Structure 1
């Protein structure tokens, strides 16, 4: 049971919730109410995040304005009962950050990121039918999420887009001020684009904008995403904003690798097949299974990576020794070779993927699974974003 449920209409009573929250929060501070009462309103605890330099200097932002998209990425909406992978959530988060840049507002960042169950080593908590749904929701969320600042460096992000976390003391000061400002304090917006929010004084002069984003996904608000010239933040922005712990470990691994090439081999979640009405097996990526096997990888990359080079491999392939045939031509390296370095900082596969992306980015030649840009190198020519056309898989060199 998720904390939020799908809402077809904008939340028109958010200001009332804010007011109730402050009454309850004040009561918590003087000990009149149990701490769990405030959790009903889904506001994180203010004492779980150490204020950064930028957050301590809130006085410098006293004339600034803020924008809040919610306490969870892609929620409220269809992803409240589940969550997408890291890349999907980063697209949504980048969209929100872009809007904050466009509006010259400070972005209130969710303090936790949901981890898709297949990427969570701890799994999802199970419970009986007799368990309290709200308590279980809290437990499931805690078990299937991780702290946002364990993934990203907030100070580093703030050099481009000022951010605060929604469990910081600064956020509570912002909420308090928004209540004191009355009608100029909070505006609840839905289905209003960023240009209107910027140009219309009804919104541009408001201290705090509380946005209810598209229920499909936050990134749907960036409708011009296909127009590359309109994108303020590149796809590489968030990967390079990894937390200092992850960056430090990645730097140590890169120092040991010295001069190396790298490949990212995405198989498991992309190699999906199904049978059509005639019983014929079909796939959305007909060449992917073939192109990501060792013998075909070798054929593909030898023109870019001369034999004898060190080759770092990052992959979601779980078959042991799947890439071992490549060792005949390359010195293979995996993140698992550096367990003494990574184990202290890796709690889930999101942390691992963040770390591996930094290592991949440091390679002399980096070859992706799918080509996302005309100048990139890739293992397959299949498009990453398929047109939903299920085709017969190809395993020969004929096609």
Structure 2
């Protein structure tokens, strides 16, 4: 033991006798070796536990973003707010899991193909359809395929096709479920009727678009050519385009007898109910509580400011538990009009879904309210009774919290000051912002406009990609967007899009570029579609034209700039893959230089 201690002491003495520089080198070497061992250990742990993402499982949109990110290293990836969003764009999908719903339909199709040919995928066509309460009846549940009646033993394969035979509808269901399963949800079929030639059947159905976040329903009717298959079943040989089965279309009303020729009858959408609700009797009016805003500085401003202010007012009405008095007249800002002037007298129902608004919020139309107010005042002056009390609020600085306990029949906010003191949205600023929630879910785009959207998407068989090309004033402003003009030139668009969109796909271009032929170079690579290709959908023989003219007391309504942007936006949202200007096409920032 003594010898070991003496050896250790001798070694320590010898080490102390070494020069300081050698001792530092020895210590540094030990530290470096320890760091090396630690880094090898960390790398080994990461290599064992890390699982890289499988690129085959990425969504097409993710693949497009990655491809363009590699092409444009300096591109910014943010949502471009030049497209117009409303409540149905911000709300979650009505299905709890859109991918699961698509997979459920895929499973239904697989079962239908594997089963006997005399089975019909009714459940696949009706999966996830709302029940009477508007709820989803199934999301990931198993799909049950009811069987058809057994065919007769002596069936004749050469017999003519009978369109009313359940086997014809079963064949059409199977075909649609296979072709459109990732685009639309089928909600109900009608019995097919004969087409224009032997072997043709026209079938109609209701459907909902998977990429639309509301439960609104649309109609389609197509022409199918059927043939007899094995086991006395039918199969679809070919199918027509969107609304090609004219024999299955709704029948127009009987024409009125008149000496003058009438315009072609159009079928109105029976599901649109945007009539103005009435308040009822004079006593009902006195029982109510109302919030009334007079017209302020927001009038004739851009639609985004209009919505921001309108939803502030509606949010205050909900906070106060009152009915909001609503002016249906809108002044459309000059930026949406080719004339460059503000246009008054536009109807709220041209742009937004009034039926959904009045179902999801308590509102009353202004002229109806004022008429009942005057009638109630006259009735009160003739007899003793409850007087209609009015509290006038001359400034936005009186907060909603101060009005919460007010018992007046009418709270009348007046906006008579100078801009910006007379903006409606000032009511929701400051401390009130903690109490007032803007009810975005109440604002949907007009169903008359989304009917046009569905027809455009249907003409492309719901199978298309889209690119959003922003030009206009931004492309001309080289100080804020120095690269935008060049990055969205026809040559640049061809160079960039051919790297991420397969050739000869249907390519819808949502754009504010006014020159129709600007995108002609893309026609050598894609089936290009522009909004102006579908002018007949709002022309003077269209359903939209006749219905809006009815709203406008028989006067034609112009398809204005805001309507164009709304339709462009919705067609863009329904595309299978979407390429954005400031996300993908240009190095510029969407809000100008140095704002990325």
| TM-score tier after normalising by the smaller chain length | 0.5 to 0.7
Q: Does 1:173 align with 2:378?
A: no
Q: Which residue of 2 aligns with 1:55?
A: 277
Q: Does 1:188 align with 2:393?
A: yes
Q: Does 1:103 align with 2:103?
A: no
Q: CA offset at residue 259 of structure 1?
A: 1.6
Q: Which residue of 2 aligns with 1:361?
A: 573
Q: Is the CA contact (8 Å cut-off) linking 1:188 and 1:212 kept in structure 2? A: yes
Give me the whole-angstrom Cα distance separating, in 2, the residues matched to 1:293 and 1:322.
9
Larger Rg: 2
Q: Does 1:162 align with 2:362?
A: yes
SS in 1 for 2:518: coil
Q: CA offset at residue 335 of structure 1?
A: 1.6
Deviations 1:323-382 (A, max 9, x none): 222323332111211111122436122232233333233222344445xxxxxx554464
Aligned-residue RMSD, C-alpha:
3.9
**5+ long unaligned stretches in structure 2:** 1-272, 381-385, 546-556
Give me the whole-angstrom Cα distance separating, in 2, the residues matched to 1:164 and 1:156.
13
Give me the whole-angstrom Cα distance separating, in 1, the residues matched to 2:480 and 2:502.
32
Greater displacement, 298-307 / 87-96:
298-307
Deviations 1:148-177 (A, max 9, x none): 22222312112222323323x244214655
Q: Which residue of 2 aligns with 1:209?
A: 411
Q: Is the CA contact (8 Å cut-off) linking 2:453 and 2:570 kept in structure 1? A: yes
Match of 1:252 among 448, 455, 463: 455
Q: Which residue of 1 aligns with 2:517?
A: 321
Q: Does 1:67 align with 2:291?
A: yes
SS in 2 for 1:67: strand
Deviations 1:203-257 (A, max 9, x none): x4232222245832433444379x99985444x864x331x32232222222112
TM-score, scaled to structure 2: 0.42
Give me the whole-angstrom Cα distance separating, in 2, the residues matched to 1:356 and 1:229.
35
1:78-93 equivalent positions in 2, closer than 5 A? 83-93=300-310
Give me the whole-angstrom Cα distance separating, in 2, the residues matched to 1:323 and 1:237.
37
User: Relative to structure 1, is the Cα distance of residues 293 and 121 closer, same or farther in structure 2, using a 3 angstrom cutoff?
Assistant: same
User: Relative to structure 1, is the Cα distance of residues 155 and 149 closer, same or farther in structure 2, using a 3 angstrom cutoff?
Assistant: same
Greater displacement, 284-293 / 149-158:
284-293
Give me the whole-angstrom Cα distance separating, in 2, the residues matched to 1:233 and 1:295.
44
Deviations 1:290-342 (A, max 9, x none): 34334444565567644333222222212342222232333211121111112
Which protein has greater RCO, CA pairs closer than 8 Å, 6+ apart? 1
**5+ long unaligned stretches in structure 1:** 1-50, 125-140, 274-281, 371-376, 392-398
1:111-130 equivalent positions in 2, closer than 5 A? 111-121=328-338
Give me the whole-angstrom Cα distance separating, in 1, the residues matched to 2:428 and 2:286.
28
Give me the whole-angstrom Cα distance separating, in 1, the residues matched to 2:493 and 2:322.
46
Match of 2:429 among 223, 229, 235: 223
Aligned length: 294
Q: Is the CA contact (8 Å cut-off) linking 2:274 and 2:353 kept in structure 1? A: no
Give me the whole-angstrom Cα distance separating, in 2, the residues matched to 1:233 and 1:383.
30
Q: Is the CA contact (8 Å cut-off) linking 2:393 and 2:411 kept in structure 1? A: yes
Q: CA offset at residue 187 of structure 1?
A: 2.8
Q: Which residue of 2 aligns with 1:267?
A: 471
TM-score, scaled to structure 1: 0.60
User: Relative to structure 1, is the Cα distance of residues 54 and 120 closer, same or farther in structure 2, using a 3 angstrom cutoff?
Assistant: closer
Give me the whole-angstrom Cα distance separating, in 2, the residues matched to 1:206 and 1:385.
45
Give me the whole-angstrom Cα distance separating, in 1, the residues matched to 2:458 and 2:307.
28
1:301-340 equivalent positions in 2, closer than 5 A? 305-340=501-536
User: Relative to structure 1, is the Cα distance of residues 272 and 175 closer, same or farther in structure 2, using a 3 angstrom cutoff?
Assistant: farther
Q: Which residue of 2 aligns with 1:21?
A: none
